[in-house]
Amino acid sequence: MNSATVRNLLVRGMLAGLAAGLLALVVAYVVGEPNVDKAISFEHAHAHEHETEAVSRSLQSTAGLATGVLVYGVAFGGIAALAFCFALGRVGRFGPRATALLLSGCALLAVYVVPFLKYPANPPSVGDPGTIGKRTALYFLMMLLSVLLAVAATLLGKRLAPSLGTWWATVVAVAAFTVVTGLAYQFLPAVNEVPKDFPATLLWRFRLSALAIQTALWAGFGLAFGELADRLLNPRRTKAASGHAVPAAH
C-alpha cells in the first residue's frame, strides 16, 4: 500500500471517527447524562460541604461532553485507520468493509471491554479524589496490556494457522488471550471505592450506558470507515454498483 493511499485512508479514518463521535455523543447525551445527573444529585445529598463548581454542570453536559467525545473519536479514528492499513489482507481474505468491522470489534474489545471488566466505569461521585492518579494509571496499564495481548494473539493465530488450520488456530489464540488476561486480572490490584449506600441500580445503569456509548462509537466507525475505505480501494466496483458504465479492460 503506497503512502498516498495510507494518507487518504488516514483522512477517511478521522472523518469516520468524527461521524462515529457524533453518534456516540447522541447516545451519551440521551442515555448517559441522566445517570450522571442522578449520581451528582446523590453526591450533593450526602455531602457535608458544598464547593463551587469550576465549570457549570450545563457546560460540562453540552460543550464539554461534545469536545471530549468528538476529539476522542477523531483521534482513535486516525489510529484505527493506520491499523487498518496494516491489517488489510493480513488477517484473512476480507474486503475493506469486513476488515473495518472486524478491526472495530477487536478495538472495542481490547481498548474498552477488557479494561472495563477489571476497572469498570464509575459515576463522578464515586471514588476517592486522592487515588484518582493511581486508578487512572491502573486503567491505562490494563488497556495497554489488553492491546498488546490482542496483537500477540493475532500473531499467534497466524503462526499456527498453517499447521492447525484457521479454525483451531483461532481457538488457541483466543484461549491464550483469555488465560493471560485472566492472570492480569488476578495480579493487578483491585479498586473498590463505591460507597455502600450508593444505589446499585444507578451504578449498573451508569456502567451500561458507558458501554453503550463505546459500542455506538466503534460500531459507527466500523460502518462509516468500511464504506469510505471500500469506495477508495474499489472505485470500479463502486461505480458499477451506482449504475455508471465501467470501461472494459484491455
The 3 state secondary structure assigned to 168-204 is: HHHHHHHHHHHHHHHHHHHHCCCCCCCCCCCCHHHHH
Give residue 78's identity as a one-letter amino acid code.
Answer: G
What is the average pLDDT value for the chain, to the nearest integer? 83
Of all helices (H) and strands (E), which one includes residue 28? Answer: none
Residue 186's pLDDT is 94
**Residues 6 or more apart whose Cβ sits within 8 Å of residue 115:** 139, 142, 143, 146
Which of 26-40, 46-60, 154-168, 191-205 has the highest average model confidence (pLDDT)?
154-168
| Angle subtended by helix axes 200-233 and 33-46, to nearest 10 | 150
**Can you tell me the distance from the alpha carbon of 32 to that of 44, in angstroms, rounded to the nearest whole number?**
19
Q: Which three cell numbers stand for residue 236?
A: 470500479
d(CA 103, CA 150) in angstroms, rounded, equals 11
Percent of residues, the chain, with pLDDT higher than 70? 84
- Sign, Cα dihedral of 217, 219, 222, 224: negative
Question: Looking at the predicted structure, is the pLDDT value of residue 110 above 70?
Answer: yes
Kindly tell me if the per-residue pLDDT of 117 is higher than 90: yes
Q: Is 127 left (phi over 0), alpha (psi -120 to 50) or beta?
A: left
pLDDT at res. 93 = 77
Residue 34 has pLDDT above 50, yes or no: yes
Tens of pLDDT along 177-232?
Answer: 999 999 999 999 988 878 787 888 888 898 999 999 999 999 999 999 999 999 99
18 vs 62, higher pLDDT? 18
Q: What is the pTM of this model?
A: 0.81
65-87 helix and 96-107 helix, angle to the nearest 10 degrees? 120
Q: Grid coordinates representing 195? A: 460507597
* Position 65, amino acid: L
Q: Are 178 and 170 in contact (CB under 8 A)?
A: no
Has residue 50 got a pLDDT over 60?
no
Cell numbers placing 184: 492480569
pLDDT at residue 45 in the model: 58
Q: Of 86-100, 151-165, 186-200, where does the model show the most confidence?
A: 151-165
Average pLDDT over residues 60-71: 73
C-alpha cell, 60:
460540562
Q: pLDDT at position 244, please?
A: 54
Coil, helix or strand for 93? coil
Average pLDDT over residues 38-62: 57
Residue scoring higher pLDDT (52 or 98): 98
- pLDDT in the model for residue 48: 47
